[in-house]
Structures are given as structure tokens and as C-alpha cells.
């Protein structure tokens, strides 16, 4: 996992898919992609989680995290309050930790899980949390307020899809489900993200 510069550009799944289809058509293999877009292999796109915080003028400052390749042995823990950098002259809040109010998740492999929790120890018990999983390759949660995730239903027995449209681009989310939740995380109080990626198939 590495932190990316704030204005890092991540190609959308749709753009990547279009490029794949164009290449496949030239090679005579385009029919399979057109028939079933979920056949795209997990490794073709890099998973990225981006957090956003508001600054004095009402604009957002992003903090993107690029996740490692599939098959990580242990869950990946991200601590945004410590990891997200601050510019000394950015605003009057510069001495305080990064307080994320919105989130975007792109290109997550199928069968991944993402836990959001307001605990620095990354534990659910006694803390506000929500857990997501992915039901398809290159799943996407478009930009939304973290607290808005709780407006969608879902649990382990009956997962529920998050079907919002991005706050900044109106692109619909796809393939991301809620599989459990506790109390809502208050805006700015997200302290830990735990990502578990699927093992690479042989």
C-alpha cells in the first residue's frame, strides 16, 4: 500500500473496460467481454480508496491510498488520521488530524471486504462501524458522505447494495454491498479502514 499524491488520476472502470473491448475486438476475442463484463481478471485494475475532507473555502482535499496486489496474507489497515498528509499553509486546521467526511472506492476485486470504524485499534466492539463487501470484479463505491452509508440496509444474512451516484460525477456505484453495521460514524471520526483482498486464484 502506498499513499498517492492528492491529484492522482485513476481511470474509471468504464474507461478501462472500453480499452479492453477495443483491444479484444481487434484480436477477435471481443465477444466474450461484451457478453460478460465480469470476466475481467482481478489484477487488471489497481484498487484505490480515496478519502476527502473539507477545507475553509468549502472545497475538498483528497487522500488516496493505492492497495497492493491480490493475495495479501493479512488484512490491510489504513489509519487516515495519521497517514494522510497535511500542508502547513492549507488552512487553520493544519495541526489537527485528517478528518474524512467522504469516501470513494474504485476497482475492488470480487470477494473483497472493507471495514470502516471510528477506533484507532480497528476493532468493532464498542465503536461505530460499517462493513462492506464486493459481489463483482472492479466494484466501485462512488464518492459519498461516510455517514450516508448507513441510509442503506444490509447485514451478513441479507447483504444490501449501495446504489448511490457520485457526489461529483453522478456515476452510479456498482458491486458494493453492506454486510454489517453498528452505530454511524460521525463526520470526521473515521479512524481506521481494514481491507481484506481475495487470494489470487491459480
- Structural domain total, the chain: 1
Look at residue 122 and tell me if it is in a domain: yes
Look at residue 126 and tell me if it is in a domain: yes
Look at residue 191 and tell me if it is in a domain: yes
d(C-alpha 111, C-alpha 109), whole Å: 6
Look at residue 28 and tell me if it is in a domain: no
Least confident of 94-98, 104-108, 181-185: 94-98
Q: What pTM was computed for the model?
A: 0.74
Look at residue 39 and tell me if it is in a domain: no
Look at residue 150 and tell me if it is in a domain: yes
Q: In this predicted model, what pLDDT tens digit does every residue of 136-177 receive, in sequence order?
A: 999 999 999 999 999 999 999 999 999 999 999 999 999 999
Which residues constitute the domain of residue 185?
A: 48-85+98-196
Beta strands, E only, the chain? 2-3, 48-54, 60-66, 76-78, 102-108, 113-117, 129-134, 139-145, 160-161, 176-181, 192-196
Look at residue 90 and tell me if it is in a domain: no
State the pLDDT at residue 57.
78
Look at residue 19 and tell me if it is in a domain: no
Q: Greatest CA span in the chain, whole angstroms?
A: 57
Amino acid at each position: 500500500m502506498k499513499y498517492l499524491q492528492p491529484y492522482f488520476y485513476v481511470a474509471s472502470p468504464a474507461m478501462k473496460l472500453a480499452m479492453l473491448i477495443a483491444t479484444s475486438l481487434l484480436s477477435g476475442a471481443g465477444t466474450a467481454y461484451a457478453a460478460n463484463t465480469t470476466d475481467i481478471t482481478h489484477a487488471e485494475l489497481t484498487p484505490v480508496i480515496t478519502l476527502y475532507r473539507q477545507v475553509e473555502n468549502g472545497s475538498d482535499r483528497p487522500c488516496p491510498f493505492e492497495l497492493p496486489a491480490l493475495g495479501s496474507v493479512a488484512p490491510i489497515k489504513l489509519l487516515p488520521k495519521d497517514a494522510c498528509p497535511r500542508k502547513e499553509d492549507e488552512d487553520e486546521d493544519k495541526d489537527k488530524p485528517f478528518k474524512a467526511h467522504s469516501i470513494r472506492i474504485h476497482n475492488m476485486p470480487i470477494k473483497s471486504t472493507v471495514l470502516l470504524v471510528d477506533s484507532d485499534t480497528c476493532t468493532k466492539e464498542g465503536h461505530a462501524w460499517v462493513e462492506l463487501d464486493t459481489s463483482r470484479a472492479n466494484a466501485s463505491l462512488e464518492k459519498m458522505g461516510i455517514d450516508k452509508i448507513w441510509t442503506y440496509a444490509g447485514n451478513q444474512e441479507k447483504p444490501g447494495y449501495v446504489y448511490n451516484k457520485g457526489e461529483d460525477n453522478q456515476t452510479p456505484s456498482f458491486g458494493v454491498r453492506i454486510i454489517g453495521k453498528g452505530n454511524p460514524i460521525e463526520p470526521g471520526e473515521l479512524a481506521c479502514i481494514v481491507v481484506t483482498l481475495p487470494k489470487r486464484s491459480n
